[in-house]
Amino acid sequence: MGTVELVEVEKSLKCPVCQEVFIDPVTLPCGHDFCLTCIQAVWETDGKTEGPLFCPECQIFLSSGLRLEINNSLQTKVKDFTASRSSPLQPESTSASTKSASTILCDHCIESPSVAVSTCLTCDASLCQAHTLLHQERSALKEHTVVEVTEDPLSLKCREHRDELKLFCMEDRVPVCCFCVLVGTHKNHKASQLHEACSHFKGVLESTMSQLLRKRSEAELAITDLETLYTQTVKVAADLREKIADKYSRLRFVLDGDERLMMQIIDSEETYMTEWLETQRSIMEAQIKEIDSLRTSSKLLLQETNDLRFLQQITAKNLCDPLDLKPIQEVDRELCEPEKLRTVEKLVDDLSLALSQHFPRTWSYLCSPALDRKTAHPKLKISQDGRQVHWRRQPVVETLDTQPYDSQYSVLAQEGFSSGQHYWEVIVQEKPYWLIGVSTGSPDKKEVPDKNYVNSTFWCMYHGDGQYMVLHNNQEKQLSVTQRVKKLGVLANLQKGKLSFYDADTMILLHSFSVQCTEPLFPMLNPCLDVNGMNHQPLTLFLIKDP
């Protein structure tokens, strides 16, 4: 410890009466320290409560029932200082403390100012404990406003009138002085006492806390419901996978059985028909054999030169009279017509026709077109994978008084369709406003980014706060949709020139347009204006993932 610091510490540990280092130091209520024997000598008492008691430093009268007790903390500091002074080789002691640079001293103490514990705003003065007691006891000072000690009393006063901030303006929500309310900028404003305003706003805050607690409980319940729904969704999906797999197994079993039946019928018909034909052939071959035998016998008889033998042989073989031969039966081709086989083919054709009404599924044409950032309105934000669009920022003043479904707030897909069938789905969930459809025209990739490319020719479906309508340019038509659409399906059958909108969850047809257009059609998504943060949810293109 340096010499200067040692002197300062020694000065702070000296008794103001004897000017020596404290012996058994005591601290008075005013904050001043003295040796026990010194203060008793000043009061001319041996510790009893006789005679007037006062502080020799600040001259403040003290309670006659005051009890003096040794200040152990100060006693320890004195011992540490004495030990360090008597041992020069001992390291510097850190037990002796000095007043911090930020310590506020009493403005009323004449010699050796004590540390201030309060501030009088009326006096603009910092007060030690003794002078704070003086302000509390003297009737002339009792009206003064005494607050916790502060380095900047002016911060608690009106900067315009330099008067105490005793009121609170309920209209401007700021503390004010009396002059502000009487003649200042807060004249004719409703003002309350500080404690009244505090009581009021504490009540508001308590109400807010209760409301927040209720909202938190509601949010926790909502999270519980969401977790339950998540679990149910996963379970339902697993159950449906098992059920659908079982149904398709049954369908395959039925189809396989039906195929086997048809093949068995064909095989059986073929067997019976070929057996009948073989029988008929055997009959014809027997007749031919009989004819050939008769011809051979007749030929041999005709070669006989002996008349007696000729007559004997011709009578023996019963050839004297002309033969009554059965006519050769012509083949009845109608009997060979495979009518039953044609019936089987017709049944298979009927089955194929019945299935073709449901196959291929609309989902067979499902695609997920990526969105083109260059065609997006500047206030729209496209996700990294190009499958989602939402508002980049919330509009400040915009309202739904005009046309919330203005096509300028849209984004187009990167690729358009000129032929074939194409189907895509857009997840809308609980969005109160959205516009989904197609637009003509091919965006020029060389144009300035963030320019809107939506052509004036478009076919769309719009949802606005529970109401559904279809739009084609300036034409509108209200739809009667009983169940809320959470996912919209769009089917572009360009071969038939037809554009259809479906409830993608139930595959119920909502509306169809007849589209006669030679230009490519581009899928168009419009999340609509986000008013008051109620329509910030995104539009998401549904994507089937390969397992």
What is the structure's pLDDT at 404?
Answer: 55
**318 and 407 housed in the same domain:** no
User: CA distances (Å), 243 to each of 246, 249, 255, in order?
Assistant: 5, 10, 18
Rounded to the nearest 10 degrees, the angle between the axes of helix 3-12 and helix 72-86 is: 150
**350 and 460 housed in the same domain:** no
Render each residue's pLDDT in the chain as its tens digit; 547 residues: 555 566 677 778 888 887 788 888 898 888 888 888 888 877 776 445 455 678 888 778 787 778 888 888 888 888 888 777 655 444 443 333 344 446 888 888 877 778 888 998 888 888 888 888 888 778 777 778 888 888 888 888 888 888 888 899 999 999 999 989 998 899 999 999 999 999 999 999 999 999 999 999 999 999 999 999 999 999 999 999 999 999 999 999 999 999 999 999 899 888 988 998 899 899 889 989 988 998 998 899 899 889 898 888 888 888 888 887 778 878 777 777 778 888 888 999 999 988 888 888 888 899 989 999 999 988 899 999 999 999 886 554 444 454 555 667 899 999 999 999 999 999 999 999 999 999 986 444 444 344 444 446 899 999 998 899 999 988 899 999 999 999 999 999 999 999 999 999 999 999 999 998 888 999 999 999 887 778 889 999 998 876 5
Long-range interactions of 16-20: CB distance < 8 A, separation 24+: 16/56, 16/57, 16/111, 16/112, 17/41, 17/42, 17/56
**403 and 526 housed in the same domain:** yes
CB atoms within 10 A of CB 293: 10
User: How many distinct structural domains can be found in the chain?
Assistant: 3
Determine, yes or no, domain membership for 247.
yes
Domain CATH code at residue 51: 3.30.40.10
What is the structure's pLDDT at 403?
Answer: 53
What is the structure's pLDDT at 243?
Answer: 95
**392 and 503 housed in the same domain:** yes
Domain CATH code at residue 478: 2.60.120.920
Measured CA to CA, the distance from residue 285 to residue 296 in angstroms comes to 16
Determine, yes or no, domain membership for 201.
no
- What's this model's pTM, rounded to 2 decimal places? 0.57
Burial class for 32, CB neighbours closer than 10 Å (0-12, 13-18, 19+): buried
What is the structure's pLDDT at 405?
Answer: 58
Domain that holds residue 427: 363-541
**338 and 483 housed in the same domain:** no
**509 and 385 housed in the same domain:** yes
Last residue of a domain, one of 86, 105, 130: 86
